[in-house]
């Protein structure tokens, strides 16, 4: 005799322990923690940029997600957003998307300067308290519903009124518009818990199971919020420190250059002062010190336009000059003149040579001060101290 579907369903339900929902509910934190530790295989959204990015140097050692472009200082920032597989229709009740999953992927984004990346990390951090509070509110709502089912406050004769109330609450806090399937499933499970089962019955044990499933997903999302906060707190601090160091390098060279220009070009120790300025500049503007835009290009422009190609690390600096300023014929011509002057010992130590050096230094200071002002305008001190 073929077993009727309703009889089979009833038999399966009878095999489920009556307290299974409570067991799952109590185990939600543990299960959520295990889920959050799973490593997900993600694809690259922009493979061409990825091929370029992975060959660029790190801004910070071992921080894979932040790199800088060697010749521009632009910052490459790797994010891990989630997107849904397909557009979900808006209807009431929500469609069953229990078999739908989000598609994790990696996305490289190029930022024009370090200030914009700091703002980006701060924006992400500012969003997290709102996301966390929403999840906490929904978790409290789910807990209350679970208790009401367990204590018999939600019954066959009143569950529909609960549905309308809960639906309105979820709509008001924006959770009916979520696009990430994991969150959508959690919301869907809450609404399905307030409906009839597949046999068109009011089924309190099944409802509690759905609520337990929902709370596990909510807790997983809460753990994810904590991870995001920890990550971007760290990145924001590192980026601010990096920016301050690079600005310090430029400011130090500006101040020392102004001090040098205040000296009499005919005084006996002027060459010692020039050599000291040259030494400090080459240390400060080493290619491993000033990494990011907008400061990197300006630092190298100063270095090349004032000193030509430094003998120290000649191959590295020649390579940078040819690639960073390949289209700047005026700068390249100036560098060639400086290099020719270096080879002439008579010209190199003449008063005319010193005056030309001073003129180049004045122009170089203007370049550095301009980029420092732009950086301050993009991210004022008041923003960092807020």
pLDDT for position 28: 59
Task: Please tell me whether residues 170 and 271 are part of one structural domain.
Answer: no
CA 207, CA 24: separation in Å to the nearest integer? 12
Task: Please tell me whether residues 44 and 188 are part of one structural domain.
Answer: yes
Q: Find out whether 253 and 368 touch, Cβ atoms under 8 Å.
A: yes
Task: Please tell me whether residues 219 and 314 are part of one structural domain.
Answer: no
Task: Please tell me whether residues 88 and 222 are part of one structural domain.
Answer: yes
CA 268, CA 270: separation in Å to the nearest integer? 6
pLDDT for position 103: 52
Helix (H, G, I), strand (E, B) or coil at 274: helix
123 located within any domain: yes
CA 67, CA 42: separation in Å to the nearest integer? 19
Task: Please tell me whether residues 297 and 201 are part of one structural domain.
Answer: no
Task: Please tell me whether residues 76 and 138 are part of one structural domain.
Answer: yes
7 located within any domain: no
Q: Domain residues for 288?
A: 263-377
103 located within any domain: yes
Please report, in tens digits, the pLDDT of each residue of the chain (386 residues total): 444 545 554 544 444 444 555 655 566 566 556 666 565 556 777 888 989 999 999 999 878 899 999 999 999 999 877 654 444 444 444 444 444 445 557 889 999 999 999 999 999 999 999 889 988 888 999 999 999 988 999 998 888 888 888 888 888 877 877 767 677 778 888 888 888 888 888 888 888 888 988 888 888 888 888 989 999 999 999 999 999 999 999 999 999 999 999 998 888 788 899 999 999 999 999 989 999 999 999 999 999 999 998 776 667 778 888 889 988 999 999 998 888 887 775 555 677 888 899 999 999 999 999 999 999 999 988 777 76
Task: Please tell me whether residues 269 and 216 are part of one structural domain.
Answer: no
Task: Please tell me whether residues 78 and 196 are part of one structural domain.
Answer: yes
Task: Please tell me whether residues 52 and 110 are part of one structural domain.
Answer: yes
- Among 221, 238, 255, which residue terminates a domain? 238
30 located within any domain: no
pLDDT for position 343: 77
| Stated pTM of the model | 0.80
CA 189, CA 191: separation in Å to the nearest integer? 5
Question: Which among 36, 40, 76 is positioned nearest to 56, based on CA atoms?
Answer: 76
CA 237, CA 217: separation in Å to the nearest integer? 31
Task: Please tell me whether residues 148 and 291 are part of one structural domain.
Answer: no
Count of structural domains within the chain: 2
Decide: residue 70, CB within 10 A, 0-12 exposed, 13-18 middle, 19+ buried.
middle
pLDDT for position 352: 81
Task: Please tell me whether residues 87 and 230 are part of one structural domain.
Answer: yes
CA 69, CA 76: separation in Å to the nearest integer? 7
CA 195, CA 207: separation in Å to the nearest integer? 8
340 located within any domain: yes
Question: Which among 154, 211, 156, 205 is positioned nearest to 13, based on CA atoms?
Answer: 205
4 located within any domain: no
Neighbours of 263 (CB within 10 A): 13
Task: Please tell me whether residues 272 and 170 are part of one structural domain.
Answer: no
29 located within any domain: no
1 located within any domain: no
């Amino acid at each position: 005799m073929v077993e009727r579907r309703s009889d089979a369903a009833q038999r399966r339900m009878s095999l489920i322990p009556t307290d299974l929902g409570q067991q799952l509910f109590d185990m939600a934190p543990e299960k959520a923690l295990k889920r959050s530790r799973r490593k997900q295989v993600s694809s690259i959204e922009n493979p061409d940029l990825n091929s370029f990015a992975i060959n660029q140097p790190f801004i910070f050692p071992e921080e894979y997600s932040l790199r800088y472009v060697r010749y521009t200082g632009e910052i490459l920032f790797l994010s891990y957003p989630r997107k849904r597989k397909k557009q979900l229709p808006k209807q009431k009740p929500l469609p069953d998307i229990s078999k739908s999953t989000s598609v994790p992927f990696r996305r490289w984004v190029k930022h024009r300067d370090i200030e914009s990346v700091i703002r980006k990390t701060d924006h992400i951090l500012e969003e997290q308290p709102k996301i966390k509070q929403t999840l906490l509110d929904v978790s409290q709502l789910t807990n209350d519903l679970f208790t009401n089912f367990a204590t018999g406050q939600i019954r066959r004769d009143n569950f529909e009124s609960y549905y309308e109330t809960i639906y309105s609450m979820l709509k008001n806090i924006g959770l009916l518009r979520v696009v990430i399937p994991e969150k959508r499933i959690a919301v869907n499970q809450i609404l399905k818990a307030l409906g009839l089962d597949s046999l068109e019955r009011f089924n309190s044990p099944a409802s509690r199971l759905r609520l337990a499933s929902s709370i596990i997903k909510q807790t997983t999302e809460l753990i994810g919020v904590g991870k995001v906060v920890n990550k971007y707190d760290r990145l924001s601090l590192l980026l601010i420190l990096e920016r301050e160091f690079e600005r310090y390098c430029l400011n130090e060279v500006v101040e020392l250059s102004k001090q040098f220009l205040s000296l009499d070009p005919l005084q006996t120790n002027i060459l010692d002062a020039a050599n000291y300025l040259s030494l400090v500049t080459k240390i400060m503007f080493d290619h491993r010190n000033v990494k990011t835009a907008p400061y990197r290009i300006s630092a190298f422009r100063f270095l090349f336009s004032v000193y030509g190609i430094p003998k120290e690390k000649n191959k590295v600096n020649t390579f940078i000059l040819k690639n960073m300023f390949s289209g700047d014929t005026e700068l390249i011509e100036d560098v060639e003149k400086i290099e020719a002057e270096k080879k002439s010992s008579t010209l190199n130590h003449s008063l005319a040579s010193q005056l030309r050096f001073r003129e180049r230094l004045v122009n170089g200071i203007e370049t550095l001060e301009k980029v420092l002002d732009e950086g301050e305008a993009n991210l004022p001190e008041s923003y960092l101290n807020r």
